[in-house]
Every structure is written in C-alpha cells, then in structure tokens.
Structure 1
Amino acid sequence: MKITDFSPPLSDRLLKEYNFFELYPFDGGGNFIHMEILGTVDDREIFEKIKNGALNDFGTLPEIASRRFEFWRTIEKSCWINRYYFIVPLAKRYWLTKDESIAVLVKDTMLNFIRGNKPPQGKEEIGNHIRRVYENRDSNYNSKTIEEYSLDEHDVEYIWFDFQPASRVIHFLYSMYFLKDSPSVSSAEWEEMENSIKDHALLIMTGEKHFNKLKISDNHQSVRSLALLFAAAFFNGADIASEFLSEGIRIASFHILNDYFNDGVLKEVSPSYHFFETWHMRDAYLLSRQYAFALPEEASAILKNAGLFSSAIAQPDSTSAVINDGYALKLEGFLASLPDDCRVSGEDSGHSYFPDAGLAVFRDAGTYLLFDFSCFTGQFSHYHGGKNSFTYWAGNKPFFIDSGCCNYDNPLFAKWFKTPAAHSSLLIDGCGDAALEGTYKWLYFPDLCHTPWTKEADDSQIISVSLKSPVPEWKDIEWERKIKVSGDRHVSISDRIIAAGSKKLTFNFVLHPDVSYDIRDGEVFLSNGETELTMSFCSWSEAVIDRLPCKAYIGGELKNTFRITVSLMAVGGENIFCTIIKVK
C-alpha cells in the first residue's frame, strides 16, 4: 500500500488549520462554478451541502455522471466535476472524524470514476485525442459566441484532456492520504486507486513528451507538471517514478523561470491565477525538499517575490483585489502556506509599483487604492478591457471596484465583465479602450506608458499613466490619468485627453453594492456604513452626472450595483477633467 509512504507537500498542521481551497485556491473557472454549486470554501460546510444533495445535478454519490455536461455551453461545469475538487473536503472530513461511512463514500466515488472512465492509452491514441480536442476547442469555444457554440451537441471529450486528469491526480492523492488509515478500504481497492494514479500520470507524461510544446503562461501545463511530481513522490523508489520526476521537473522548471515578471507578478496579470500558479511552484518547491530533487536555484527567490505581490494585493478585509478574470481570495491561509524561507509579512501601509505587470497599490490606515494599467496578456488569455481603472477603499470599506468576473459559461462573461464599461475607466463616443470578438478573441487593446509613484513636496504620492488605443473611436486620442493620494487620504484624479476633434467622454465609476449614493448640485455623495465620501468635479464644460445599473461579482455571488457616469464633450486639443474624492 504505497499511500502509507506518501507525504503531501503541506503539513498536517496547515491542513487542519485552514480550509483546503484556502491553501489550494481555484483557478477562475473552477471558483465560479464551485461557488454556484456549493457557495462556500469552508470544508465542513461543503461536506454538509454535499450530504444534503448539492451535487444532484451530477448524480447521487458515489455514482457521478461524468459526461452529463460535456458540451461547450456547460464546459466549465463539466470541468469542475471531473477535476474532483469536491472529493477532498469529504475525505478530509473522514480524516478529522474517523466516520467510516464517509470513508466508504469517498473510496466508492473514486472507484466509480476509475471503473467507468477508461483513459486513452498508448502514444497514438493519446495523441489523436489531444489533437481532436484542441481543434474542436480552438475552432468553436475560443472563437465563437456562446449563442453559436451552444448549438454544438458533440461530446467535447474533456474528461481526459488537459487540466482534468492533472487535477484528479492531486485531489485523489490528497483524498487517499486522508483515507490511509481506514479499515474500510481493501487491499484490492487500494491497488485499483494506485493503478489509476499511474494511468493518469502516464497519460499526462505522454502528452507532454510527444504532443505539447512548452508554453509561457500556460497555467494548465503548470498544474500538469505538478501532477507528475505528485505521482513521482507517490511512486518514489519505483522505476516509473524517475520518468514522472524527470518530465515533471522539466516542465515545472520552465514555468517557474518563465511565467513570472521580474516584479514578481504572474504574466497572466490576474491575482487569482497568480495564486493558482504560485501554489504549483510552492508545492514543487516543498516536494523537492521532501524527496530530494533539484529545481532551478532561482525558484526560492521567484517564489518569495510572488509572495510579496500576493501580500501587496491584499485589501483591508484581507481578501485579494480583482483584476481581469478572477475572484477575491481570503489570503491568510495561502500566505501561511508559503515555505518558511519564502514567507512574507503583510504591510499595513506603504505603496507598491509593479512596472512589468502594470499595477500600483497605495495603502494606509484603512485606505486602499489599486491602479490597474496592466498590459495585454495575449489572445485567449484572461485579459479584460477598461484599463487606467482603479479600486478604492476608505475607512476599511470598499467604494469603487472592478466589476470582477463570472462563470465563463455565463453570457455576461463576454458581454459585460470583460468589457471596458465594467471598469472605472473611460469611454469615447460610447466605446472603451478594447474590443472583443466572441468569447476570447481580442480585436483591439490599448498601449500604456507609466511612471512609478513619486513623492510630492506635501508628502502626497502621485502616479501617472498614458494610454492610446487602436479602437476606431479612439483614433487620435491620447489619455493621461494621474492619481494623487494626499496625506489626509483624499484622492485626486486628473484626466488629460488630447483629441483631434469633438468627442463624447464618459468617465465610469463602478460602485460596490454596499455603497449608497446621492447625486445633487453637481456632486456625488457616497456612504458605506459609517464612512462617507464626496466626489466633486472640475472641467472645461458642464458635465452630466448619471447612474446606470450594472452587475458585479462579490463574495461568490452576482450582485446588482450601479456605476456613476460623468459625461461631457471634448473639444479639439487638450481637455483636462479632475475628480476629487474626499473622506468626510
């Protein structure tokens, strides 16, 4: 029984102290589906909800219908169930309670999958499967609208593709670790599960060796490399372990060395995906120390820099800010899980500048400002339009936010959340700085130039970003936004627009759902709890202030909120518009 000799990367102390998905944060898509289905990352609550039928759409445990949602229109739901996230909190519940009925349910659920879903085997079969799925995905899901690809009724064959088998290796091994002392699992059943881990790892290794090229910023490939390292640790001492280890080290090393900017930020420029891929690096690093294999010597420094960004991005409620595709993560467990020699302590005040990623943070005594001038991260990436936007907290309360994201299967994903209008940015004649075709194909995106925080004579901090966009409505437009945070924590935003002729400018300010507002006498009065703000404006002509309903993803839910819009006509030449945000 190999599981008795296996030690996972994280300690029993961490596994007991924190919820599993605080230590192992989801990717974006996994999180949105998880929250729709289970609504929590609390291990105990997940167990109770599953016990009360939360997974009934997929069948009744231990029998899960793996192919029920294998269509493009529900692909995220299919991926979620076939990554077997849900199995770990169940197994952990057994570990903590020793309730054998739970152990039986967990092992029967895993065995039901193993017996009912045989993997492609052999180089030819695996290669044909990979090519078939890539062709289908790239010609349909990535390039078409949800209305177009929803007509496709073909099985998309994702169960043994990409992220899914890698995720199962990790989640199955953690579940087996939690069950290792159970008398309810027979020797023959342990052997079945062990053989399945080998089949999963062989499939992943064959795909990587022969059919997948190393690709920067491929977080799915990164998790596949980690699955091979988990399998190598599990089969430690066996001949096959060295093959898994060699391939796992090759791929993991590539991503450790190439997926992060020099400023410590993952090149996807999404905090959620930053945490996701950073735990791949963390676990690879910890496994290398436990099982005595070598990673690049730069790994510890890169991991520490990644931790520094993770700490800097923390909002006053200790959750991460949201940029591009992603969600807010409670950071305490994740930061505590970093290795001792790579751990960082959070700062309550100060300012940070991440020039490669295009992000800046100011924080001081309940004030938090994140300025997003992040770079384009590539076609089919997790990019959103609407740059030069900002997130702002005062008195430990959120006021202006990034609208966030939603389930990638939801039409709002491409129609709202990825658009510039969903951000506290600028629209020119009703159009933002970027334009999207279908779900992932970016037609236009902006170029940005920026300067770091500069300290003024009055001790205030100021930062400046210039933006140009190829969107046709932005032709001959240059937009410079300066944000100044004063010692009294007032915020001044100066927008300088150079236009060749008359243009309608609409400045967008997306409000947190908890914010109340009142528009009167040319000002906007905002409140959240006991904290009150006043927005006043200065411009070359009279502005029209309005509010429009919109959606935001907050706390795992889609919520209704509003955006304040301030519209006016630009004239040819230089136009300067100022917004003053004062804390009462």
Structure 2
Amino acid sequence: MRKTEYRKHEMVSTGKLGFMMPYRKPYFSGKVAKTFYPYGAELWREYDCFALSLLDGGAFFFSNAHFGAADGKTVLRAWEEGKLLAAWQGADGKVEWDRFWQIWDSTLCLPRFEQHVWLNRLYCLLPLAQAWLRTGEQRYARGWDKIFKEWMSAHPIVPPLQKAHESRSCWHDMQVTTRLIMLLHSVFLLSHGEALPAVSWRRIYRAIRLHANHVFVEAAQAHATKGGIGNHYQQKGTALVATAVLFPEFPEAAKWLATGRSVLEEHAAADILADGANIEASPSYSHFIARLSLDPHLFLIANGCETIPGWEGLLQRQYAYLAQTCDPHGNTLQVSDSYFMSAKADIALVRRLWPELAVTKRSGSNWFDPSKFGLLHQGCFDVAVDAGKTNLWHHHRGKPNILVWYKGEPLLIDTGCPNYDEDVRDRWCKYAAAHNVVTVEPDEEAAKWDELTAMPECKCLYHDDKTIEINHTCNTPSLNYNWRRRISLSDGVCHVRDSVRADRPVRISLHLHLAPVNMTLTANNRCAVIALDCGKARINLLSRGIKFNICDQLAIGTNNHWTRSAHLNVNKPGRTATFEWQIV
C-alpha cells in the first residue's frame, strides 16, 4: 500500500486555491492532478456554510422548524449541546437513521418525510467541516467522521433505479446527490490540516466515487428518456460536473462530466424561462436553482475546462430577474413555497464568487410575461402580482395573487409556507383562499369540486407603469368561469377591480390577508383601518351591498415562523360579482 500523503491546499500563481487530494488510492488513474476548488477558504471563514451552499426549500423549512433557524451555526450549536441527533435516537441513545421512514412503512402515510431525508442527506456534516477549518479543533473532525462512518455502515449501497422504498429513499434521487455535494465541500474544508487518518480518507473517496456513479446512472437514465425536470434533476448535473473536475483520477470522470453538462443544458432549455425565471416559480428556490447553475460554471472555469455554451448569458438573466423581483427592501417574496431571505445579500455574495455578474438594481414597475409576474411602484405603494402557473411541485394555487407594501411596510401578505411535514401546508397554505385572490366554488355538489384538479390560465391583458390587468379563466367539466383583475396605482391610491362571471350559480369570495399588525373594522364593516409604523392605511370597499367578514388565520412571518394574520373576506352568491376596493 502506498504511503499516506497529506497535502494542504496552496495558492498558485493564477490566484486560484490549489486543490490536492489529501489521500490517493491505487485505483485512481495514477496521474497526479492538481485541481482547483472555486470557493476560497477565506469565504468559508467569513460566511455561514449554508450561505455558500444554499439549502433547498425542504431542508430550510425543516431546519427552521426543528432547530429554530436554518443556518450552520445553529446546527453546530445543536451538535455541541448534544441535541443534533436527539430526535432520531432510540432509548439506548443510538441513532436510528431510518426511524421516521419506519413509521411511514408501518402506517402507510408519510408524516415525517422531510425529517427522514434531512438526516439522510447529511446536511449536518457541513457545519462540522466548516468548524474544523475555522478552529482546527479535532473534536469537529472526529464528530464529522463518526457521523459519516455510522451512516455508511447503516446504509449498504442499493443499486440505482430501484424503487425509493428499496433503500428507504436513502439511495434515491436528491438524497444521494445532496450527500455527494456535502462530501465535496467537506473534503476541501477537512483537508486544511491533518483532520482525519488515512482510513477515513479512503472511506470518503470510496464514498465519493460510489455516490457519483449512482447519481450518474440516475441522471443518464432520465436524460435518455427525456424524463428529467426540476431542481432535483439539475442538481445531479451540477454534482457530476463538480465531481468530475475535482477528481479526474477516477476512471469514470469523463462520462460524469459529459453527462453532467448534458443534464444542465437540458434543464436550462426546459426550465429556465426567457426572462430568467424558472418554471418552479418560488423565489427562494430560484436562488437555489440559480446557484446550481453558477456552481458548475465556477468549477469549470477554475479548472480550465470548456464552459457550457451560452452559460454566462443564462446566469446573467437569472440573477437580473432575482434582483428585479424582490420586495422593496431586497428580500425574497414569500409566495408559493418560498421562504424569506435576503436576495440582496445572496446576490452580493454571488458577485464575489463571480465578479462578471452585472446585476441592475430593482426598478419601479415591470412586467415579465414569460413568468407572468409583475411589479408596480408609485408613491407610497409597491405591488407584486403573481399570475404564474399552479400545477408544479412548489406552486401554490390562487393566481393572480397580489402583495402590497405601504410606505415600504408589508400590508397584504401571502400566508406563506411552513415545514413540508406540517399538514397545514396542504390543507391551507397551498389553497387559493390562503392568498389575496377571488375564489369561485359551486353552490351545488360542492364536495365534487376540487380546485386541485382545476388548472386555470392567466393572461396579461394590459400593463404599464401604473396598471396591470389579468384575465383568469378556468374550464372544468363541473364549472367554467372567468375572473378579471385590474390593479392600478394613482395619487396615493391602490385601486383594484375584480369581476367574475360563471356559467352556473356559484359562491364568489374575495380574500385579503393582512400583515400581523393592528387592524380594526368600521361599524358598517366596509372599511378596514390598519395601523402601521409608518401611519394608518385603509382598505375601503367601493362596491355596494357587500361587507367584510373577518377571521384569524395562521400565516408565516418574515422570521419564517408561524404568526397570526387577519383574514378579510367578502362573499357573494350568484353567477356574477364585482368587487371594487381600494387602499389609501
């Protein structure tokens, strides 16, 4: 056996950070390859690990609910306090890695899927590896090694393309890809100093090769059958490109690279729209997806590889869209499955990673027709209009939904999205009534009506700097209706007109969700007075013969935790209705 070799990363003349493998095995090709890792150690010392390696939505929401926050320092603190794995430990104190999948197996339901996959994707390794880089304290490296060794021992490889339940979903799809990405980052972080013994490095490199081959088979099969879609598929391409350029010694590296590039090109063509949005239409996911586009580009550039044709233009388009479609303070909008994050801070970090990024600041009013998303700004009002599709994984129903800010403060909000394991997400948050919309439901045989099966279409009829008008049509075997919404800003007034026409008697309802602030209704229930820090705003009903009803509902606040929100609604039975209202 060859003598164990440890090499620290070194700066080279190009200014890139040298990436030398801390350990090489004879089953590598034998050539000594210096490869380069594009995220410098100084960035890992400065930024939280989950700012550099963005979490997908499911992981963010679970971490936020389970640990109280979704950042690396919170996960690390849980480990230091002995609480990180407590929820998965049995009575004997041992970690039951598949504890919540076993609950699913026995009950034929899946109440804790995110809790199961969060652990088995091994997100928790990254904060430990980062802590080793920052401190050099051996306890972090030993903790990393212990978790990874125990996980590998508990999960023998299951061949690719098996049904998810064959491996309790642990050797399936995003679980494998995310673990691979956590390993790639960890190798860089742990190789600063002698963190691990040779036996551990051998285990890591075997696992990287094993995971990459598994991801390759899944990605190649999806690519061959044109069955790949969404960020799970894109992530496979990103992981394959990164692994191939970092580890050219593996004999499979060339095919990983070729397939990874093809997957990314296919995903970009199918999922990234002409305006820079993506079909999943969830703002925080859009940052995750844009980073999955950026990472392979950085890995290819850093290692002198040919970049993917047209990729720089694709990246510029994605980040320009993200810069334009945030709230007045530069944060992501909490629409669909999006969480609240600083878009401004993420884009600033990306500019450090890729200085070629040329992002314009958020402008006033704009309409993005491919994604059917618009912004209006005039005077004291900012309005976001989401008229996108409702039929994909991270979409919520209820379009065109609007969000309103008054003097920069949120006034009309989206109910938001909680941890995916909470059934209130599917029972309430994803339904149309949880948004600032008009709903139309049959009066008769209401039990047969399911908005989940309705696929309404929205089309922009008119837009300028002050006005957006959307036509919403829904045609189903049980109900056909048309809803037209016109939003206009002028002279310190936000004016909205909602007109509905159905082919049969229906229940027509207007729903408005207020930010969690003080609100009172006037005596006739036709005016809601909202007390904001910047002053009072009023929502007035202009149409005659209707009034506001009010109830208290759950909503997700800007801290990404549950709060309470006032829900105003107006109901009118019949075939037609007009709700005209304004905010002043």
Q: TM-score, normalised by structure 1?
A: 0.85
Structure 2 residue 45 is the aligned partner of structure 1 residue 16:
yes
Identify which of 33, 37, 55 aligns with 2:85.
55
| Pairs within 5 Å for 1:286-325 | 286-325=298-337
Identify which of 451, 457, 462 aligns with 2:461.
451
Identify which of 103, 126, 132 aligns with 2:160.
126
Residue 156 and residue 272 in structure 1: after superposition, are their counterparts in 2 closer, same or farther (change >3 A)?
A: farther
Query: 2:99 and 2:151 mapped to 1: Cα distance?
Result: 13
Per-residue Cα deviation, 1:276-334 (whole angstroms, up to 9, x for no partner) = 21111010111111123334322111111110111122213432002222212222342
Query: 1:436 and 1:234 mapped to 2: Cα distance?
Result: 55
Identify which of 392, 399, 412 aligns with 2:404.
392
Are 2:336 and 2:416, in contact at CA under 8 Å, matched by a contact in 1?
Answer: yes
- Post-superposition shift, 1:395? 2.2
Look up the match of 1:284.
Answer: 296
% same residue: 19
Are 2:413 and 2:515, in contact at CA under 8 Å, matched by a contact in 1?
Answer: yes
Structure 2 residue 509 is the aligned partner of structure 1 residue 506:
yes
Are 2:449 and 2:478, in contact at CA under 8 Å, matched by a contact in 1?
Answer: no
Instruction: Give the secondary structure class of the aligned counterpart of 2:338.
Output: coil
Instruction: Give the secondary structure class of the aligned counterpart of 2:160.
Output: helix
Query: 1:157 and 1:163 mapped to 2: Cα distance?
Result: 13
Are 1:435 and 1:444, in contact at CA under 8 Å, matched by a contact in 2?
Answer: no
Instruction: Give the secondary structure class of the aligned counterpart of 1:386.
Output: coil
Amino acid paired to 1:113: W
Query: 2:379 and 2:93 mapped to 1: Cα distance?
Result: 50
Are 2:553 and 2:564, in contact at CA under 8 Å, matched by a contact in 1?
Answer: yes
Structure 2 residue 377 is the aligned partner of structure 1 residue 356:
no
Look up the match of 1:150.
Answer: none
Instruction: Give the secondary structure class of the aligned counterpart of 1:44.
Output: helix
Larger RCO, structure (CA 8 Å, separation 6 or more): 1
Identify which of 476, 481, 485 aligns with 2:485.
481
Are 2:160 and 2:218, in contact at CA under 8 Å, matched by a contact in 1?
Answer: yes
Query: 1:15 and 1:451 mapped to 2: Cα distance?
Result: 48
Query: 1:107 and 1:384 mapped to 2: Cα distance?
Result: 40
Are 2:37 and 2:302, in contact at CA under 8 Å, matched by a contact in 1?
Answer: no
Instruction: Give the secondary structure class of the aligned counterpart of 1:251.
Output: helix
- Post-superposition shift, 1:474? 4.8
Identify which of 80, 102, 113 aligns with 1:75.
113
- Post-superposition shift, 1:359? 0.8
- Post-superposition shift, 1:576? 3.5
Look up the match of 2:123.
Answer: 85
Query: 1:392 and 1:398 mapped to 2: Cα distance?
Result: 6
Amino acid paired to 2:535: T
Are 1:217 and 1:268, in contact at CA under 8 Å, matched by a contact in 2?
Answer: no
Look up the match of 1:183.
Answer: 194
- Post-superposition shift, 1:570? 5.0
Query: 1:471 and 1:325 mapped to 2: Cα distance?
Result: 26
Query: 2:214 and 2:449 mapped to 1: Cα distance?
Result: 34
- Post-superposition shift, 1:471? 5.3
Structure 2 residue 168 is the aligned partner of structure 1 residue 163:
no
Amino acid paired to 2:132: Y
Instruction: Give the secondary structure class of the aligned counterpart of 1:340.
Output: coil
Instruction: Give the secondary structure class of the aligned counterpart of 2:64.
Output: helix
Per-residue Cα deviation, 1:85-117 (whole angstroms, up to 9, x for no partner) = 122122212211222211211122222222332
- Post-superposition shift, 1:581? 0.4
Per-residue Cα deviation, 1:434-465 (whole angstroms, up to 9, x for no partner) = 99999xx941121111135314xxxxx10100
Look up the match of 2:551.
Answer: 548
Structure 2 residue 60 is the aligned partner of structure 1 residue 31:
yes
Residue 387 and residue 560 in structure 1: after superposition, are their counterparts in 2 closer, same or farther (change >3 A)?
A: same
Show structure 1 runs of 5+ residues with no match.
137-154, 456-460
Aligned length: 538
Amino acid paired to 1:453: H
Per-residue Cα deviation, 1:53-110 (whole angstroms, up to 9, x for no partner) = 1431123999743211223221111111111112212221221122221121112222
Are 1:14 and 1:337, in contact at CA under 8 Å, matched by a contact in 2?
Answer: no
Residue 578 and residue 86 in structure 1: after superposition, are their counterparts in 2 closer, same or farther (change >3 A)?
A: same
- Post-superposition shift, 1:482? 0.5
Residue 305 and residue 533 in structure 1: after superposition, are their counterparts in 2 closer, same or farther (change >3 A)?
A: same
Are 1:513 and 1:559, in contact at CA under 8 Å, matched by a contact in 2?
Answer: yes
Query: 1:542 and 1:560 mapped to 2: Cα distance?
Result: 29
Amino acid paired to 1:289: I
Are 2:442 and 2:449, in contact at CA under 8 Å, matched by a contact in 1?
Answer: no
Amino acid paired to 1:395: K
Amino acid paired to 2:580: C
Look up the match of 2:473.
Answer: 468
Are 1:69 and 1:77, in contact at CA under 8 Å, matched by a contact in 2?
Answer: yes
| Pairs within 5 Å for 1:115-514 | 115-120=153-158, 125-127=159-161, 129=162, 132-133=163-164, 157-210=168-221, 213-215=225-227, 217-338=229-350, 339-347=354-362, 349-363=363-377, 367-378=381-392, 381-429=393-441, 442-455=452-465, 461-470=466-475, 474-475=479-480, 477-486=481-490, 488=492, 490-499=493-502, 503-514=506-517
Query: 1:392 and 1:352 mapped to 2: Cα distance?
Result: 15
Look up the match of 1:107.
Answer: 145
Decide which moves more: 512-521 or 557-566: 512-521
Query: 1:33 and 1:365 mapped to 2: Cα distance?
Result: 39
Are 2:160 and 2:172, in contact at CA under 8 Å, matched by a contact in 1?
Answer: no
Are 2:438 and 2:510, in contact at CA under 8 Å, matched by a contact in 1?
Answer: yes
Decide which moves more: 521-530 or 164-173: 521-530
Residue 106 and residue 240 in structure 1: after superposition, are their counterparts in 2 closer, same or farther (change >3 A)?
A: same
CA RMSD of aligned residues (A): 2.8
Instruction: Give the secondary structure class of the aligned counterpart of 2:550.
Output: strand
Instruction: Give the secondary structure class of the aligned counterpart of 2:323.
Output: helix
Are 1:24 and 1:334, in contact at CA under 8 Å, matched by a contact in 2?
Answer: no
Q: TM-score, normalised by structure 2?
A: 0.85
Per-residue Cα deviation, 1:338-391 (whole angstroms, up to 9, x for no partner) = 3222341433x412211111111234677431111112444xx22221112111
Amino acid paired to 2:137: D
Query: 2:222 and 2:294 mapped to 1: Cα distance?
Result: 26
Instruction: Give the secondary structure class of the aligned counterpart of 2:245.
Output: helix
Per-residue Cα deviation, 1:487-517 (whole angstroms, up to 9, x for no partner) = 53x2111112234565443210011223534
Per-residue Cα deviation, 1:169-211 (whole angstroms, up to 9, x for no partner) = 1112212211112324112211111111111001111222246
Identify which of 49, 62, 75 aligns with 1:46.
75
Query: 2:193 and 2:308 mapped to 1: Cα distance?
Result: 38
Query: 1:395 and 1:65 mapped to 2: Cα distance?
Result: 51
Query: 1:425 and 1:525 mapped to 2: Cα distance?
Result: 20
